[in-house]
Structure 1
Amino acid sequence: MTIELHAWPTPNGYKISIALEELGLPYRAIPVDIGRGDQFKPDFLKLSPNNRMPAIVDPDGPGGAPISLFESGAILIYLAEKTGRLLPSDPQGRYQAIQWLMWQMGGFGPMLGQAHHFRLYAPERIPYAVDRYTNEAGRLYRVLDKRLGEAEFLAGEYSIADIAVFPWSRGAERQGVDLAELPNVRRWFEAIDARPAVRKGLELLKEHVRTGPLDDKARDVMFGKSQFERR
């Protein structure tokens, strides 16, 4: 049965489309235009009460009953457990993958998102914020580089941990990071980027990929007071 993927072409959306392509699960992408406020619509909030995408609806959930899930990390774990793939079966490997997935969810994604915001999207340049998050982005990439100097992939074998981290690393230059200075990350990045399922997953809603700067309305919807007024 076809999984509904409610998403937008961003790093968090790509995590799920890549995983679905890697696992060969049929899915239908339903756009959630975060620049127009689709994430605040009542129907989407029923799936994702935190008004963040992605979310999925699997009509063939546990026990054959439908299930909806939000939070990309939870979705990745669910898909891996549903198929028995992309999550090591041995306890040591499993927790290795889960800890690096949590590292991405708690640090690598949020901090890089802040670097993106203050370096590219903030209506005024705040030097302290730019330096703070650019430096933190660099620190996190060095943590990643150290781990990838110890193992080919984050959990030893390719897993949902790599799938979670990879889409965010595609923006390294915009985060103030040069992958040429991180040879282990660069080797890992190129290996994942060359995977056919990854290339296919990155086509998620490609007709909606933003190529220009945010306009004032989209900035207000995504980052401004309107997101609080809509609650």
Structure 2
Amino acid sequence: MSPILFELLLKSLWETVAMTLASGAISFVAGLPLGLALVATAKGGIAENPWINGILGSVVNAFRSVPFIILLVALIPVTRLIVGTALGTWAAIVPLAIAATPYYARIAEVSLREIDRGLIDAVRAMGGNRWTIVREVLVPEALPGLVAGFTVTLVTLVGASAMAGAIGAGGLGDLAIRYGYQRFETAVMMAVVVVLTPLVCGIQGAGDRFAARIERR
């Protein structure tokens, strides 16, 4: 591999990491409240409301049912409105975050539903309000699962960011398509695979260790 391609590989790696972390952070900030809302408004929840739960569930399912490559193209007008362009690394963060938010919301919902109902009833018996239940029971008790779910979301975003390279989003996916596939540079394609493998393994390993440390506390 030439020095120029090696520099492109490093630049593309940074772009992939930036896309993954930025869209991951947005999905966590937006997805966790959405997951809490789905659990709280469900039947028997602390703020039971079938209508709101049905609407939220339908919106989440609608976004999750659309393949990412289609969502990527469909959101081009929204991306232009927010970022000013539909091309480049920062433009890709918009569809990545929008796709990852409902995905993480469902993962968070699963973790939150596993909490012992008796803990919630105990806080209620002591006069705790809804916010107290969320702050003192739901989030702390589900935290290991929430961290593990967020790790899975980040790994998924690495793959999605590579797919975003198909429309010029930059990153390792763009490098693999433009040089590895279109120019038949097998070395570039293999280099992208070699870089992506430890990146994904590193994210998964770090997330698993962090979740295990939280669970031991």
Q: Is TM > 0.5 for Structure 1 vs Structure 2?
A: no
Q: Normalized per residue, which structure has more helix? A: 2
For the pair shown, which has the larger CA radius of gyration, 1 or 2?
A: 2
The structure carrying a bigger strand percent of its residues is: 1
TM-score (norm 2): 0.30
